[in-house]
Amino acid sequence: MATSTFSPIKLTHHQPLHPNIRSSSDKPFLGSTHKLRFNSSFKSSSPSRLTRSNNATIIVAVSDVVKEKKTKPTASNSNLLITKEEGLVLYEDMVLGRSFEDMCAQMYYRGKMFGFVHLYNGQEAVSTGFIKLLKKEDSVVSTYRDHVHAISKGVSAREVMSELFGKATGCCRGQGGSMHMFSKEHNLLGGFAFIGEGIPVATGAAFTSKYRREVLKEADCDHVTCAFFGDGTANNGQFFECLNMAALWKLPIIFVVENNLWAIGMSHLRATSDPEIWKKGPAFGMPGVHVDGMDVLKVREVAKEAVNRARRGDGPTLVECETYRFRGHSLADPDELRDSSEKAHYSARDPIVALKKYMLESNLVKETELKAIDKKIDELLEDAVEFAEASPAPQRNQLLENVFADPKGFGIGPDGKYRCEDPKFTEGTAHV
Ligand SMILES: Cc1ncc(C[n+]2csc(CCOP(=O)(O)OP(=O)(O)O)c2C)c(N)n1
Ligand SMILES: [Mg+2]
């Protein structure tokens, strides 16, 4: 049994949680200053390592990686965590995500989109930190807060904006809308409106990769899946069922909890018996990691380890990213429940500002280079809006497509014939 190889969890520098369930602003929740680190015992569970790691402690949280690496005396820029090129990719992706959402808010308030729209502002370091490490063949499963995951995975801003406008050129031909971004081409396996719904889909995708590699003998199939979901969702039963299956079958999956401390208006501390979500990893026999989700470099370090672990065939990891959303739950939420001091605390830790500061202070880039990226993104988003605006609405009969795999699923009409055989039905003009 995989679980027998794990020894009890031992945390260092563990800060006790606030015992009360008052405002989470009383004290920083988990405190992103923890200095817990990956332990080498979790780097591989291949048989040889397993024997050696029997007495080792599974470590479960992270990481003042950036700070620690910076202090190492090395030549030139080699002490930095990223190269210039990597830094620019991260910066561009985060600014694109943020600016896309700001543009989306403008368009929503101008009546260009319908239904609920949930923005990702503030959480960009998580999407960018993980997804920019993935290959195209790797899968991402998101939630209803999915625009930025889609963009990080390579779906164009045009296609995402068009989808939001409900246009035929959207990534789901206008049939999905804000909460259901999907792209087969980019292995974006969906945004999901029901919380927790994506977790089993992600687990299935990870099972597919393992099945292809081990049963169908596709040796190069080392694809991994990242499942993103929130703190509130981590109280849902599907999460636990999938942790169990993923650990049992050593699936190549990373469960990424974006703990923004709130589930709509419900504080995480009030709703969860043990708010440290990462602890559930070791309980199921996989590493659990807590990371500062406002720091893209830290997220990326953790993500690298977890992705490599999955790719090597060593199994799943649970990563809890402590983050914050800078806007209300959805664009319909006046956001009156959260303390202004809490909001101020996290907005001072804006992940984009932090990365920019890091790159400038380490002389990795020049301000003009970053400004050029900002400008490029402004233009790209203007273009995305124009494209969405000018795109056609879907044909009415499209409503009947992609509902059932077998069109006979539409059933038999009052005339005793299959509805799908009536041309008016497929045109969308039949009375049903
Ligand atoms: C199965 C199900 N139950 C309830 C809801 C209503 N609901 C929508 S969002 C949400 C809170 C989710 O919070 P969290 O997982 O923390 O994600 P966040 O919105 O913070 O990103 C709930 C309960 C739902 N969408 N699906
Ligand atoms: Mg939440």
**Which atom in ligand 1 lies closest to the alpha carbon of residue 236?**
1
At residue 166's C-alpha, the angle toward residues 205 and 421, to 5°, is 75
The confidence score (pLDDT) of residue 78 equals 56
**pTM reported for the whole predicted model:** 0.84
- The answer to whether the CB of 230 is under 6 A from ligand 1 is yes
Question: What's the gap in Å between 75 CA and the centre of ligand 2?
Answer: 42
- The answer to whether the CB of 231 is under 6 A from ligand 1 is yes
- The answer to whether the CB of 263 is under 6 A from ligand 1 is yes
The confidence score (pLDDT) of residue 402 equals 77
Nearest residue CA, atom 17 of ligand 1?
A: 230
Instruction: Encode pLDDT of 46-60 as tens digits.
Output: 333 222 233 333 334
CA–CA dist 396, 375 (Å, integer): 38
Instruction: Encode pLDDT of 116-168 as tens digits.
Output: 999 999 999 999 999 999 999 999 999 999 999 999 999 999 999 999 999 99
**Which atom in ligand 1 lies closest to the alpha carbon of residue 264?**
11
Nearest residue CA, atom 26 of ligand 1?
A: 194
The confidence score (pLDDT) of residue 399 equals 78
Measured between alpha carbons, how far is residue 357 from residues 79, 326, 389 in Å? 16, 20, 36
- Buried b or exposed e, range 60-79, using 16+ CB within 10 angstroms: bbbbbbbeeeeeeeeeeeee
pLDDT means over runs of 10, the chain (432 residues): 31 30 37 36 34 34 38 50 96 98 98 95 98 98 98 98 98 96 98 98 98 96 98 98 98 98 96 95 96 96 97 97 97 94 96 97 97 98 98 87 79 85 79 65
- The answer to whether the CB of 262 is under 6 A from ligand 1 is yes
CA–CA dist 91, 297 (Å, integer): 11
- The answer to whether the CB of 198 is under 6 A from ligand 1 is no
The confidence score (pLDDT) of residue 312 equals 96
From 3.20.20.80, 3.40.50.970, 3.40.50.300, 3.40.50.620, which CATH number describes the 75-390 domain? 3.40.50.970
Question: What's the gap in Å between 262 CA and the centre of ligand 2?
Answer: 4
- The answer to whether the CB of 264 is under 6 A from ligand 1 is yes
> Under 8 Å CB-to-CB from 372, ≥6 apart: which residues?
none
Question: What's the gap in Å between 240 CA and the centre of ligand 2?
Answer: 17
- The answer to whether the CB of 233 is under 6 A from ligand 1 is yes
- The answer to whether the CB of 194 is under 6 A from ligand 1 is yes
- The answer to whether the CB of 330 is under 6 A from ligand 1 is no
**Which atom in ligand 1 lies closest to the alpha carbon of residue 329?**
19
Nearest residue CA, atom 8 of ligand 1?
A: 195
Instruction: Encode pLDDT of 47-100 as tens digits.
Output: 332 222 333 333 344 433 333 334 343 444 456 789 999 999 999 999 999 999
Name residue 188's beta-bridge partners. Answer: 140, 183
CA–CA dist 218, 225 (Å, integer): 17
